[in-house]
Amino acid sequence: KRHLRYGVSMELLSVIIPSLLPTVSPSMCALCHFRRLRSHDSFAYFSFPYFFSQGIDINHKHDRKVRRTEPKSQDVYLRLLVKLYRFLARRTNSKFNKIILKRLFMSKIHRPPISLARIVRFMKKPNRENCVAVIVGTITDDARIFEVPKLTVCALRVTEKARARILKNGGEIITFDQLALRSPTGNRTVLMQGPRNARESVKHFGLAPGVPHSHTKPYVRSKGRKFERARGRRRSCGYKK
């Protein structure tokens, strides 16, 4: 008379239970066995307190997503750009806007400066005429190049000398809000960035210096005759890399 306790008619149970019996899992059979019930007792499987209260309690104590969702900087102009590109990333089906938004969040070591020579080299590739070079970071001058072609660049910051050289050769420098008006989906743009692993600290990462096949730069007080010139540096002392 278990069905009468929950106000369910026998006719309704005779329709519901046979359709659910093929979906009985072994864990439910084990539960019925644990409760000293027969495994073919349909009321033991599907009595309402047991059937609807099954679940797994997962501990979410250590769950966290290690990524930035906003910039650390309190610069109001940067935060206005974040507001603009958050809207564009949400309302347009453009991966370009999502990348721009992600890079606006980044720390300074992940937004390294890019030289004018590198921009010129990237823009010389085929099918990049009349495109806008987009850099979420700083553009710096490079004295190793003598001729700067006509460029249209968009960046967070351009150094004084780099700005003068671009404008002198008939180029154009625009901001990201102007880029959003000119190209809301990133059409006819070339997204580029400076080398992230060119920092001095990155040269010390990797295998321990001195072991075979390691190209890691050691932390040495000085670079003289008496500093790290033995094992690993010459054949007569163990080995040479």
Whether 18 is covered by a domain: the verdict is no
Q: Are residues 224 and 137 in the same domain?
A: no
Given 174, 191, 208, which residue is the final one in a domain? 191
Q: Which domain holds residue 217?
A: 199-240
Whether 35 is covered by a domain: the verdict is no
Q: Are residues 81 and 187 in the same domain?
A: yes
Q: Are residues 151 and 204 in the same domain?
A: no
Q: Are residues 90 and 171 in the same domain?
A: yes
User: What is the SS3 assignment for 143-171?
Assistant: CCCCCCCCCEEEEEEECHHHHHHHHHCCC
Which residue type sits at 200?
A: E
Whether 31 is covered by a domain: the verdict is no
Strand partners, 133: 153, 190
Q: Are residues 86 and 154 in the same domain?
A: yes
Domain count, the chain: 2
Q: Are residues 99 and 138 in the same domain?
A: yes
Q: Are residues 172 and 108 in the same domain?
A: yes
Q: What is the pLDDT of residue 39?
A: 47
Q: Are residues 83 and 185 in the same domain?
A: yes
Element of type H or E holding 186: none
The Cα 39–Cα 30 span in angstroms is 8
User: What is the SS3 assignment for 38-55?
Assistant: CCCCHHHHHCHHHHCCCC
The Cα 94–Cα 134 span in angstroms is 15
Q: What is the pLDDT of residue 51?
A: 53
What CATH number is associated with residue 175? Answer: 3.100.10.10
Q: Are residues 172 and 119 in the same domain?
A: yes
Q: Are residues 154 and 226 in the same domain?
A: no
Burial class (CB in 10 A: 0-12, 13-18, 19+), 100: buried
Whether 206 is covered by a domain: the verdict is yes
pLDDT tens digit string along 117-138? 999 999 999 999 999 999 999 9
Q: Are residues 83 and 159 in the same domain?
A: yes
Contacts of 150 (CB under 8 A, 6+ apart): 169, 170, 171
**DSSP class per residue in 97-134:** HHHHHHHHHS-GGGS--EEHHHHHHHHTSTT-TTPEEE
Q: What is the pLDDT of residue 64?
A: 93
Whether 29 is covered by a domain: the verdict is no
Arithmetic mean of pLDDT over the chain: 86
- What average pLDDT does the segment 99-119 reach? 98
Q: What is the pLDDT of residue 55?
A: 87
pLDDT band at 241 (very low <50, low <70, confident <90, very high): confident
- What average pLDDT does the segment 72-94 reach? 97
Whether 182 is covered by a domain: the verdict is yes
Q: Are residues 185 and 103 in the same domain?
A: yes
